[in-house]
């Protein structure tokens, strides 16, 4: 199948007074049209930076692209001029951010924030843009859209605001939506509603989605494929089912074990991932997960493991992936 | 919105009364009065009988609460009594200078806005570039230079520049004419003090705009606007500036009110007969009615400006409008 997006060896580093933070250090993955790809990892593992780098939204300085390619429909986004990039943002690639409370402009009406994208990219009149905005609000399940258009973000609840963000990202019928932890800031009940909405809309409209999350429940239910990130790299990648039932990286395994499950006995203790994520300015040549890994051996300190195929469409970067697989089989 | 405006208007009343109370009593704490000063002259010796007659004529022999009552009623009926020094109605004396001071304050504020908002915005957008450094240096200079000194430099420059260009030494007109009588004459006289003070006040407002803009540019909604693919110009003007202006409006509002009575030295430099000069004069002459009236007018301007700032706030920020 033809790829919609191909990220090849993308590197985004931040040059700070404390040293160079290699937030994204050579990640490669692709997204097919209509596919939902999840990027999973702890806070600070580079998953958001990786996603924002696609739209070139990382402020420079301190952030800087240090190499790689981002092919979107065959065009390398890193080679485009600012004007060409602006045409892609909002029209071909929509973005939904984590914090609906702060992602909408407090002093502009919902209508204005929705119509400006449509007016700008589709070059239509204000009236046509308004009609489109009403249609979009209906699409994301907001009642009385005409009245809502005149309201301001502070009139809406968090869930409603996130619906508006989704409507905004869909305004110009994009081919890809990047959702950066779209439900992290919401109540659990609202989270499910928003995720269902996103799933249904992307299916109906045939939009591909990259969903960034640290919630493995989200991954299991909504993603076709999963990239697990650790310390700026992808450490495991595969179909959601493979990752869930057959993890081949100790970090993935640890993440899975830290999640409460319905089939565990009452009172069973969760296993948190021990230790802290590494300081990204002080990475050595070995595996970054080594200090927290219970499978670590001498060889892990010598070299960085590369991604290798462990099953069809399932790759993992671990020297001890077979041992991990055995343990996972026993306990998962 | 109407409720908001009404609430703000009602809040003005206790503020004005409180200010009136403080002004009235603080003035009377200072020992001596206008009669002793006038009759005593430099020698300090005066005839007590004459002083009593003088006090009776001016009404300052009456009980303090009675004088205060009269003063408060006067504030709301715009009857501030006669000057204890010249004997002419205070409103007449002030009226002549109020126009001039108000015009300078408005012009200086316009100069401030024209300088501060574009420069502050550019400086923030191009943070840490050479443009930013130039703007910051210019605004630091504005804070460091007293406006009267800048005024003197301006006058010297005008004299020498006109001499060099056209061979005549030109300086701004010395006699004040209201703007509706002779707009050219009026503006060519008042633009210079307005520029000198406006530049100074723009320094604070520029830095305020810059820091407020820097803060807003890091907000999530600006990132959202970028992710929508909007033009940078639109992001700055529509998304960032409206949010960044809130603190700037406050600073400019306070400065405007201050300009009404605080330009004593600048008025001296440009030979202008403004409220500042009159105030200094009336304080040293212990002219109670005049001092009270001028300070009250400054208070009214302050209160009114704050009211306007509140209205602007509501216009800029719907969260205030709808609360």
Q: How many Å apart are CA A329 and CA A331, to the nearest integer? A: 6
Q: Which of A85, A99, A107 sits opposite B318 (nearest CB)?
A: A107
Q: Is the pLDDT of residue A323 over 80?
A: no
Answer with the one of B13, B46, B79 that is the final residue of a domain. B79
On chain B, the residues whose CB falls within 8 A of the CB of A87 are: 229
CA distance A3 to chain B (A): 22
> What average pLDDT is seen over chain B?
86
Q: Do B207 and B175 have their domain in common?
A: yes
Output the CA–CA distances (angstroms, integers) from residue B194 to A137, A151, B162, B204, B248, in the order listed. 51, 41, 20, 16, 19
On chain B, the residues whose CB falls within 8 A of the CB of A106 are: 221, 243, 317-319
- Number of structural domains, chain B? 2
| pLDDT score recorded for residue B94 | 85
Q: How many Å apart are CA B79 and CA B61, to the nearest integer? A: 20
CB contact (8 A) between residue A104 and residue B221: yes
Q: What is the DSSP letter of B82?
A: B
Tokens of B281: 């004069």
Q: Do B101 and B222 have their domain in common?
A: yes
Reported as a pLDDT band with limits 50, 70 and 90, residue A276 is confident
Residue range B217-230: average pLDDT?
A: 91
Residue range B139-149: average pLDDT?
A: 87
Reported as a pLDDT band with limits 50, 70 and 90, residue B323 is low
Residue range A80-95: average pLDDT?
A: 90
Output the CA–CA distances (angstroms, integers) from residue A12 to A24, A88, A179, B134, in the order listed. 5, 20, 19, 32
Answer with the one of B79, B112, B142 that is the final residue of a domain. B79
| pLDDT score recorded for residue B175 | 81
CB contact (8 A) between residue B229 and residue A104: no
| pLDDT score recorded for residue B41 | 65
On chain B, the residues whose CB falls within 8 A of the CB of A108 are: 238-239, 242
On chain B, the residues whose CB falls within 8 A of the CB of A158 are: none
ipTM: 0.86
Q: Do B69 and B100 have their domain in common?
A: no
Residue range A120-143: average pLDDT?
A: 88
Residue range B155-174: average pLDDT?
A: 85
For residue B129, give the CATH number of its domain: 1.10.3720.10
Q: Do B74 and B96 have their domain in common?
A: no
Q: Do B150 and B71 have their domain in common?
A: no
**pLDDT tens, A285-313?**
788 888 888 887 888 888 888 888 888 88
CB contact (8 A) between residue A104 and residue B322: no
Per the domain annotation, does B60 fall within a domain? Answer: yes
Q: Do B134 and B228 have their domain in common?
A: yes
Per the domain annotation, does B56 fall within a domain? Answer: yes
Q: Is A182 helix (H, G, I), strand (E, B) or coil?
A: coil
Q: Which residue has the higher pLDDT, B85 or A114?
A: A114
% of chain B surpassing 90 pLDDT: 21
Tokens of A81: 């001029």
Reported as a pLDDT band with limits 50, 70 and 90, residue A329 is low
Look-up of token digits 């009026």 = B186
Tokens of A128: 């046509």
| pLDDT score recorded for residue A332 | 45
Q: Do B245 and B181 have their domain in common?
A: yes
On chain A, the residues whose CB falls within 8 A of the CB of B127 are: none
Answer with the one of B53, B79, B105 that is the final residue of a domain. B79
Q: Report the 3 state secondary structure along A244-309.
A: HHCCCCHHHHHHHHCCCCCCCCCCCCCCCCCCCCCCCCCCCCCCCCHHHCCCCCHHHHHCCCCCEE
Q: How many Å apart are CA A72 and CA A83, to the nearest integer? A: 16
Q: How many Å apart are CA B200 and CA B222, to the nearest integer? A: 31
Residue range A80-96: average pLDDT?
A: 90
Q: Do B179 and B293 have their domain in common?
A: yes
On chain A, the residues whose CB falls within 8 A of the CB of B223 are: 57, 97, 103
Per the domain annotation, does B296 fall within a domain? Answer: yes
Q: Is the pLDDT of residue B45 over 60?
A: yes
Q: Do B214 and B141 have their domain in common?
A: yes
Q: Do B144 and B233 have their domain in common?
A: yes
Bridge partner residues of A36 (DSSP): A209
* Chain pair A-B, CB pairs under 8 angstroms: 78
**Domain limits for position B58:** 34-79
| pLDDT score recorded for residue B225 | 92
Reported as a pLDDT band with limits 50, 70 and 90, residue A140 is confident
Q: Which of A55, A85, A99 sits opposite B220 (nearest CB)?
A: A99
Per the domain annotation, does B87 fall within a domain? Answer: no
Q: Measuring CA to CA, which residue among B294, B321, B299 is closest to residue B310?
A: B321
Per the domain annotation, does B236 fall within a domain? Answer: yes
| pLDDT score recorded for residue B248 | 92
CB contact (8 A) between residue B239 and residue A104: no
Q: Is the pLDDT of residue A58 over 70?
A: yes
Q: Is the pLDDT of residue B107 over 50?
A: yes
Per the domain annotation, does B219 fall within a domain? Answer: yes
Q: Is the pLDDT of residue A264 over 80?
A: no
| pLDDT score recorded for residue A317 | 84
Q: Is the pLDDT of residue B43 over 70?
A: no
Q: Do B112 and B218 have their domain in common?
A: yes
Residue range B194-201: average pLDDT?
A: 90
CB contact (8 A) between residue A107 and residue B226: no
Q: How many Å apart are CA A233 and CA A235, to the nearest integer? A: 6
Q: Is A29 helix (H, G, I), strand (E, B) or coil?
A: strand
pTM: 0.81
Q: Which of A106, A117, A152 sits opposite B228 (nearest CB)?
A: A117
| pLDDT score recorded for residue B235 | 92
Q: Do B73 and B98 have their domain in common?
A: no
Per the domain annotation, does B191 fall within a domain? Answer: yes
Residue range B244-255: average pLDDT?
A: 89
CA distance B235 to chain A (A): 11
Interface test with B, best of A107, A117, A119 (most B CBs within 10 A): A107
| pLDDT score recorded for residue B114 | 94
Q: How many Å apart are CA B115 and CA A88, to the nearest integer? A: 36
Per the domain annotation, does B262 fall within a domain? Answer: yes
Q: Measuring CA to CA, which residue among B269, B82, B113 is closest to residue B189?
A: B269
Q: Is the pLDDT of residue B274 over 80?
A: yes
| pLDDT score recorded for residue B106 | 92
Radius of gyration of chain B (CA): 24
Residue range B94-116: average pLDDT?
A: 90
Q: How many Å apart are CA A47 and CA B309, to the nearest integer? A: 44
Q: How many Å apart are CA B106 and CA B90, to the nearest integer? A: 23
């Amino acid at each position: 199948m033809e790829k919609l997006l191909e990220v090849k060896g993308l590197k985004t580093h931040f040059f700070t007074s404390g040293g160079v933070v290699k937030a994204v250090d050579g990640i490669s993955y692709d997204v097919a049209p209509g596919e939902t790809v999840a990027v999973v990892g702890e806070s600070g593992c580079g998953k958001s930076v990786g996603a924002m780098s696609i739209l070139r939204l990382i402020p420079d300085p301190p952030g800087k692209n240090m190499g790689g390619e981002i092919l979107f429909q065959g065009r390398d986004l890193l080679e485009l001029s600012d004007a060409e990039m602006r045409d892609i943002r909002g029209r071909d690639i929509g973005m939904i951010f984590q914090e609906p409370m702060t992602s909408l402009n407090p002093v502009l009406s919902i209508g204005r924030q929705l119509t400006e994208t449509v007016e700008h990219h589709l070059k239509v009149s204000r009236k046509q843009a308004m009609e489109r905005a009403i249609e979009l609000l209906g699409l994301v399940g907001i009642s009385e859209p005409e009245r809502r258009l005149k309201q301001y973000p502070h009139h809406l609840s968090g869930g409603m605001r996130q619906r508006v963000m989704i409507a905004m990202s869909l305004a110009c019928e994009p081919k890809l939506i990047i959702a950066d932890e779209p439900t992290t800031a919401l109540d659990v009940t609202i989270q499910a509603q928003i995720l269902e909405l996103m799933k249904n809309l992307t299916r109906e409209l045939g939009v591909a989605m990259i969903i960034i999350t640290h919630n493995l429940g989200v991954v299991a239910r909504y993603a076709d494929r999963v990239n697990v990130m650790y310390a700026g790299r992808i450490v495991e990648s595969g179909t959601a089912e493979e990752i869930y039932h057959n993890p081949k990286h100790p970090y993935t395994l640890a993440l899975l074990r830290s999640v409460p499950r319905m089939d565990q006995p009452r009172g069973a203790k969760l296993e948190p991932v021990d230790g802290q994520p590494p300081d990204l300015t002080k990475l050595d040549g070995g595996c970054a997960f080594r200090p927290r890994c219970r499978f670590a051996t001498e060889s892990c300190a010598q070299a960085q493991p590369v991604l290798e195929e462990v099953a069809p469409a399932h790759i993992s970067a671990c020297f001890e992936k077979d041992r991990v697989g055995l343990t996972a089989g026993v306990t998962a | 919105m109407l409720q908001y405006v009404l609430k703000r208007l009602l809040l003005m009343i206790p503020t004005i009364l409180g200010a009136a109370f403080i002004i009235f009593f603080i003035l009377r704490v200072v020992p001596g009065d206008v009669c002793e000063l006038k009759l005593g002259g430099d020698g300090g010796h005066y005839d007590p009988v004459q002083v009593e007659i003088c006090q009776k004529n001016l009404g300052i022999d009456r009980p303090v609460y009675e004088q205060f009552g009269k003063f408060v009623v006067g504030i709301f009926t715009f009857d501030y009594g006669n000057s204890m020094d010249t004997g002419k109605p205070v409103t007449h004396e002030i009226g002549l200078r109020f126009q001039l001071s108000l015009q300078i304050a408005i012009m200086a504020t316009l100069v401030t806005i024209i300088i501060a908002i574009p420069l502050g915005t550019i400086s923030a957008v191009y943070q840490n570039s050479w443009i930013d450094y130039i703007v910051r240096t210019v605004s630091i200079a504005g804070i460091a230079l007293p406006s009267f000194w800048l005024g003197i430099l301006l006058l010297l420059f005008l004299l020498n520049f006109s001499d060099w260009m056209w061979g005549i030494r030109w300086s701004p007109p010395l006699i004040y004419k209201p703007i509706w009588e002779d707009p050219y004459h009026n503006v060519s006289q008042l633009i210079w003090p307005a520029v000198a003070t406006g530049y100074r006040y723009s320094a604070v407002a520029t830095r305020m705009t810059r820091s407020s803009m820097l803060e807003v540019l890091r907000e999530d909604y600006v990132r959202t606007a970028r992710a929508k693919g909007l033009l940078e110009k639109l992001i700055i003007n529509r998304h960032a500036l409206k949010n960044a202006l809130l603190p700037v409006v406050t600073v400019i509002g306070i400065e405007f009110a201050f300009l009404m009575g605080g330009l004593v030295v600048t008025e001296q430099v440009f030979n202008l007969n403004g409220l500042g000069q009159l105030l200094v004069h009336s304080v040293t002459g212990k002219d109670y009615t005049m001092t009270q009236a001028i300070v009250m007018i400054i208070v009214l301007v302050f209160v009114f400006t704050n009211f306007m700032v509140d209205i602007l706030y509501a216009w800029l920020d719907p969260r205030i409008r709808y609360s």
